[in-house]
Amino acid sequence: MHSAKTILFVGILFISTLSLAQKVSFYGFIENAETGERLPGATIYFQNIQKGIVANQYGYFATVLEKGNYEARVSFAGYKPLTCLLKINADTMMVFGLHTVMLKEVNIVSEQESISRNPIETVKLNLQQLREIPPFLGEYDIMKGLALSPGINTGTEGSSGLFVRGGTPDQNLILLDGARIYNNAHLFGFISVFNPEAIQDAELIKNGFPARYGGRLSSVVNVTMKEGSNKRNQSVFSISPISSQFTIEGPVKNEKSSFLISGRQPMQV
């Protein structure tokens, strides 16, 4: 009986040793074939056994396989996959080199759409709208009309400078038909230089203004003047406690061109 147990134990030990002998180590590195740089996260997939391994941060991989033949696919993003047939009968160390793939240029062509947009951060004001606002000492002023928009104030009472969302008046870009205006105030800031009778409209952009308006931090005020009447001559004169102003316009020749002359003068203090 004792002899039979010994034979059984030896048999189990032999089978276990034989089974372990069928397992071998497979390890190595995956790298760039041109530079030798290791490729962390590269993968090896054994297609016939549906098993895969991933290289560590040093491009190193290791696994245990049974002896035999394997069809392996080595891949990494941006590199050409490598497919090879491996015959592994013992502990094996291999280095796989992958070649980079030159991606083809992608051209995206789209037709430009004509979209009219009025952003929420843009305020437009014309003469008709300005006349609906109570005047200051009998004067309509385009800058004071814009100052009634959300996020804007004029600082001290009566000032024509705009403080847009915490900025100062010198951080605003003010344009008159594309020409930059450096001082837009009359009479110590009580009124602006713009004669409302000569203004077509004014646009205030509080943020996100186009790059062509670059150079200022707070806002852009783009004032557009009238082109002048090409039908008939007409003039407007007005006087108030703080200023006097005039606008003269009319046709030049055969209703094809026109002129406009305008001025605004504050009262002397």
Residue 59, Cβ neighbours under 10 Å: how many?
20
Domain boundaries, the chain: 23-98, 122-266
The yes-or-no answer to whether 23-98 and 122-266 have a common fold is: no
State pLDDT tens for residues 185-219.
Answer: 766 666 778 888 888 888 888 877 777 777 677 88
Model pTM score: 0.49
Report the mean per-residue pLDDT for the chain: 79
Are the C-beta atoms of 46 and 15 separated by less than 8 Å? no
Q: What is the pLDDT at residue 157?
A: 56
What SS3 state is found at 177? coil
Q: What percent of the chain has pLDDT over 70?
A: 81
Q: What is the pLDDT at residue 174?
A: 85
Residue with the bigger pLDDT between 176 and 151: it is 176
- CATH topology for 23-98 is Immunoglobulin-like (2.60.40)
Q: What is the pLDDT at residue 18?
A: 46
Are the C-beta atoms of 220 and 205 separated by less than 8 Å? yes
* pLDDT surpasses 80 at 52: yes
State pLDDT tens for residues 35-51.
Answer: 888 999 999 999 999 99
Q: What is the pLDDT at residue 45?
A: 96
State pLDDT tens for residues 87-139.
Answer: 999 999 999 999 988 777 788 887 765 555 555 578 888 877 877 777 767 77
Q: What is the pLDDT at residue 133?
A: 79
Q: What is the pLDDT at residue 15?
A: 46
State pLDDT tens for residues 3-19.
Answer: 555 554 445 544 444 44
- CATH topology for 122-266 is Ferric Hydroxamate Uptake Protein; Chain A, domain 1 (2.170.130)
Residue with the bigger pLDDT between 8 and 232: it is 232
